[in-house]
């Protein structure tokens, strides 16, 4: 562990995490805070007030040039022509066979300029893929991950806190704008991964501590990656590597709403013929226990699927998760069982979200 | 969360479990170090009364939000009581690991095994 830790990358906020005694763990090549005070407390703080996450491990790719829109339409699953200036859009990046390389948020910064946020563990793979596909287009695709630290301010109080530190207007949900926050010019995006209202801030690395200090001093509690995962799971947002992978297609994963087959993106031909045999569903335990990724799903006593995300829900107090089950068993209310290390735990397929944030 | 502590009167197992020996019965739990490493305990599924436990083997699990940890039996015997209160308040394992956070009581099958356990000085040395 000690030797490996030396090779891990550190975010510009690393000292801030150490000084408050965060538990730091290796994550996708970075040393990241998994928790500060405790996952449950941090989770509930985001649901009731506001939390601040250091997500600087996320990668960024900038696409610019006369054919930027055409190029992104070719590689991203959503309809990029619908993405207006100052807007944002969720999509997946597919291989030719429809397997999912990553799931991404893309922000349109200008008429011919886009910023795409990648998952840390996929960033190098994504950039290589995009750079290769871009050879046929009049675009420049740049790896700009080193240009940005990324902070997420989330929770019902997030916008109130932000308002005291931003010069100008904060962007509405799903919008993005350039603004000065705590004296630092950054890209402010009305997005997040918690289901709560709030913003994500793309900050120059040397300005990250100023923004962090201002927001944490004004009521935003530091929140680690542990609570980030339980928050996203309660609202059924996908986690790449768990719920999405190159071996799964986006339709079975329930991402059909972000997959516009008629745009002709890479993978669309393969996906046109796909009738998913398995679907990703949210489920909740009806008794004790906590599901974990990899637990088998049992239907009528037989193994019929697999849990891809599982945890205790701090808001519901029950075991919750996402699982792939046969398409015919995916309706809300369907009784299933989860084999948790040899113990059979009753559960029920639910609608998403498993927990609906208040006021959203 | 409680401050780090390792009571003098307990015996310790290197997998971070403790035993309080009273004649031929013993109470088992996990140490301050174990609960701190695991983080806030959110689920403890107690074994059955009457079940046999074997020294150095896992007899239960404790779970935090993100992790599952095996609990190892310091000694061999038969479970005569489990801490039912932990079903509703598993966080007692964090707040009072040597008191209200006890896990099971065991009738020992071989009290000579006690000599294999660590005293507090040896356990602290193991923790470094």
Which domain, by its residues, includes A300? 278-349
A358 found inside a domain: no
Q: Closest to B65 (Cβ–Cβ): which among A39, A289, A341?
A: A39
Cβ-based neighbours of A151, under 8 Å, separated by 6 or more:
A52, A53, A54, A55, A56, A200, A201, A203, A208, A211, A212, A215
CB atoms A290 and B42 under 8 Å: yes
* A39 and A85 together in one domain: no
On whether any CB of chain A is under 8 Å from the CB of B58, the answer is: no
* Nearest-by-CA chain B residue for A231: B65
Å from B66 to nearest chain A CA? 7
* A19 and A8 together in one domain: yes
- Read off the tokens for B57: 């083997």
Q: Closest to A40 (Cβ–Cβ): which among B61, B65, B87?
A: B65
On whether any CB of chain A is under 8 Å from the CB of B69, the answer is: no
Q: How many CA atoms lie within 13 A of B15 on its CB side?
A: 16
Supply the pLDDT for residue B2. 65
* A50 and A152 together in one domain: yes
On whether any CB of chain B is under 8 Å from the CB of A33, the answer is: no
A91 found inside a domain: yes
Quote the CA–CA distance of A243 and A253 in Å, as a whole number.
Answer: 7
* A51 and A187 together in one domain: yes
A248 found inside a domain: no
- Read off the tokens for A202: 């793309």
On whether any CB of chain A is under 8 Å from the CB of B89, the answer is: no
**Residue that the structure tokens 């669309």 belong to:** A268
Give CA separation, A38 vs A79, A182, B38, B43, in Å.
Answer: 40, 27, 11, 15
pLDDT digits (tens, 9 = 90+) for B60-97: 999 999 899 999 999 999 999 999 999 999 999 999 99
On whether any CB of chain B is under 8 Å from the CB of A350, the answer is: no
Å from A38 to nearest chain B CA? 7
* A104 and A215 together in one domain: no
CB atoms B66 and A34 under 8 Å: yes
Quote the CA–CA distance of A240 and A77 in Å, as a whole number.
Answer: 16
Asked whether A241 and A323 are in contact (CB, 8 A), the reply is: no
Tally Cβ neighbours within 10 Å of residue A160.
13
Q: Which of A146, A162, A181 is the last residue of a domain?
A: A146
CATH number at residue A223: 3.30.1360.120
CATH number at residue A310: 2.40.30.110
CATH number at residue A106: 3.30.70.1400
Contacts of B87 in chain A (CB under 8 A): 288
Quote the CA–CA distance of B25 and B78 in Å, as a whole number.
Answer: 9
- Read off the tokens for A78: 């959503």
Q: Which of A234, A267, A293 is the last residue of a domain?
A: A234
Q: Please provide the DSSP assignment of A154-195 as one string.
A: ESTTHHHHHHTTEESPPPPTTBEEEEEETTEEEEEES--SSS
* A166 and A216 together in one domain: yes
CB atoms A34 and B68 under 8 Å: no
CB atoms B43 and A230 under 8 Å: no
Quote the CA–CA distance of A117 and A128 in Å, as a whole number.
Answer: 14
Tally Cβ neighbours within 10 Å of residue A217.
11
A273 found inside a domain: no
pLDDT digits (tens, 9 = 90+) for B4-51: 999 999 999 999 999 999 999 999 999 999 999 999 999 999 999 999
Cβ-based neighbours of A40, under 8 Å, separated by 6 or more:
A227, A314, B40, B42, B65
Contacts of A341 in chain B (CB under 8 A): 61, 68
Contacts of A34 in chain B (CB under 8 A): 66
Pairing of strands B52-53, B77-82: antiparallel
CB atoms B43 and A288 under 8 Å: yes
Tally Cβ neighbours within 10 Å of residue A255.
22
Asked whether A50 and A56 are in contact (CB, 8 A), the reply is: no
* A95 and A169 together in one domain: no
Q: According to DSSP H, which parts of chain A are helical?
A: 2-7, 14-19, 39-48, 68-75, 123-133, 158-163, 208-216, 225-234, 268-272
CB atoms A40 and B63 under 8 Å: no
A24 found inside a domain: yes
Please give the average pLDDT of every successive group of 10 residues along chain A, which has 360 residues: 68 98 95 96 98 98 98 98 98 97 98 98 98 97 98 98 96 97 98 98 98 98 98 98 97 98 97 94 97 97 97 97 97 97 97 88
* A290 and A339 together in one domain: yes
- Read off the tokens for A94: 């597919």
Domain count across chain A: 3
Quote the CA–CA distance of A61 and A109 in Å, as a whole number.
Answer: 12
SS3 A114: strand
Rg over CA atoms, chain A: 20
**Residue that the structure tokens 């806030």 belong to:** B40
* A154 and A132 together in one domain: no
Q: Which of A142, A140, A60, A126 shows the shortest CA–CA distance to A93?
A: A126
SS3 A53: strand
SS3 A117: strand
* A10 and A110 together in one domain: no
Asked whether B79 and B102 are in contact (CB, 8 A), the reply is: no
Residue A261 φ/ψ, nearest 5 degrees: -65, -30
* A49 and A87 together in one domain: no
Quote the CA–CA distance of B120 and B118 in Å, as a whole number.
Answer: 6
All structural domains of chain B: 13-110 (2.40.50.100)
Q: Which of A151, A118, A132, A181 shows the shortest CA–CA distance to A13?
A: A151
Asked whether A282 and A331 are in contact (CB, 8 A), the reply is: no
Contacts of B43 in chain A (CB under 8 A): 288-290, 312
Quote the CA–CA distance of A73 and A82 in Å, as a whole number.
Answer: 10
* A157 and A198 together in one domain: yes
A271 found inside a domain: no
A182 found inside a domain: yes
Q: Which of B45, B28, B49 shows the shortest CA–CA distance to B97?
A: B28
Pairing of strands B52-53, B58-64: unpaired
Q: Which of A234, A265, A299 is the last residue of a domain?
A: A234
* Nearest-by-CA chain B residue for A226: B66
SS3 A130: helix
A258 found inside a domain: no
């Amino acid at each position: 562990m000690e030797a490996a830790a030396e090779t891990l990358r550190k975010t510009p906020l690393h000292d801030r995490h150490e000084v408050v005694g965060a538990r730091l763990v290796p994550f996708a090549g970075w040393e990241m805070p998994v928790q500060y005070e405790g996952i449950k407390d941090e989770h509930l703080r985001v649901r009731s007030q506001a939390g601040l996450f250091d997500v600087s491990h996320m990668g960024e790719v900038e696409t610019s040039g006369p054919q930027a829109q055409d190029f992104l339409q070719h590689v991203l699953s959503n309809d990029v022509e619908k993405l207006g200036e100052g807007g944002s859009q969720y999509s997946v990046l597919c291989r030719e066979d429809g397997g999912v390389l990553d799931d991404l948020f893309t922000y349109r910064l200008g008429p011919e300029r886009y910023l795409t946020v990648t998952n840390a563990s996929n960033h190098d793979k994504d950039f290589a893929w995009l750079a290769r596909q871009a050879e046929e287009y009049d675009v420049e695709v740049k790896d700009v991950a080193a240009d940005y630290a990324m902070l997420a301010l989330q929770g019902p109080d997030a916008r109130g806190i932000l308002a005291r530190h931003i010069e100008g207007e904060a962007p509405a949900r799903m919008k993005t704008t350039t603004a000065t926050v705590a004296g630092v010019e950054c890209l402010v995006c009305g997005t997040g991964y918690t289901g709560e209202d709030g913003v994500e801030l793309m900050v120059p690395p040397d300005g990250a501590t100023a923004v962090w200090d201002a927001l944490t001093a004004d009521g935003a509690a530091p929140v680690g990656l542990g609570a980030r995962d339980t928050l996203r799971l309660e609202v059924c947002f996908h986690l790449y590597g768990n719920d999405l992978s190159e071996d799964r297609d986006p339709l079975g994963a329930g991402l059909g709403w972000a997959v516009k087959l008629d745009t002709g993106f890479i993978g669309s031909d393969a996906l046109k013929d796909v009738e998913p045999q398995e679907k990703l569903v949210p489920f909740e335990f009806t008794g004790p226990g906590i599901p974990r990724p990899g637990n088998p799903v049992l239907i009528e006593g037989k193994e019929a699927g697999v849990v891809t995300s599982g945890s205790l829900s701090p808001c519901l107090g029950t075991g919750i998760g996402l699982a792939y089950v046969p398409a015919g068993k995916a309706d809300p209310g369907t009784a299933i069982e989860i084999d948790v290390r040899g113990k059979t735990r009753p559960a029920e397929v639910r609608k998403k979200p498993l927990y609906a944030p208040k006021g959203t | 969360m409680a401050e780090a502590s390792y009571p003098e009167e307990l015996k310790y197992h290197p997998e971070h479990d403790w035993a309080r020996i009273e004649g031929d019965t013993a109470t088992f739990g996990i140490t301050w170090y174990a609960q701190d490493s695991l983080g806030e305990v959110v689920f403890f599924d107690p074994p059955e009364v009457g079940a046999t436990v074997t020294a150095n083997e896992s007899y239960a699990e404790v779970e935090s939000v993100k992790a599952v940890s095996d609990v190892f039996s310091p000694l061999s015997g038969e479970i005569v009581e489990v801490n039912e209160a932990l079903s509703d308040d598993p966080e007692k394992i964090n707040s009072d690991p040597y008191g209200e956070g006890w896990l099971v009581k065991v009738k020992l099958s071989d009290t000579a095994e006690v000599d294999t356990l660590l005293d507090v000085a040896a356990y602290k040395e193991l923790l470094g």
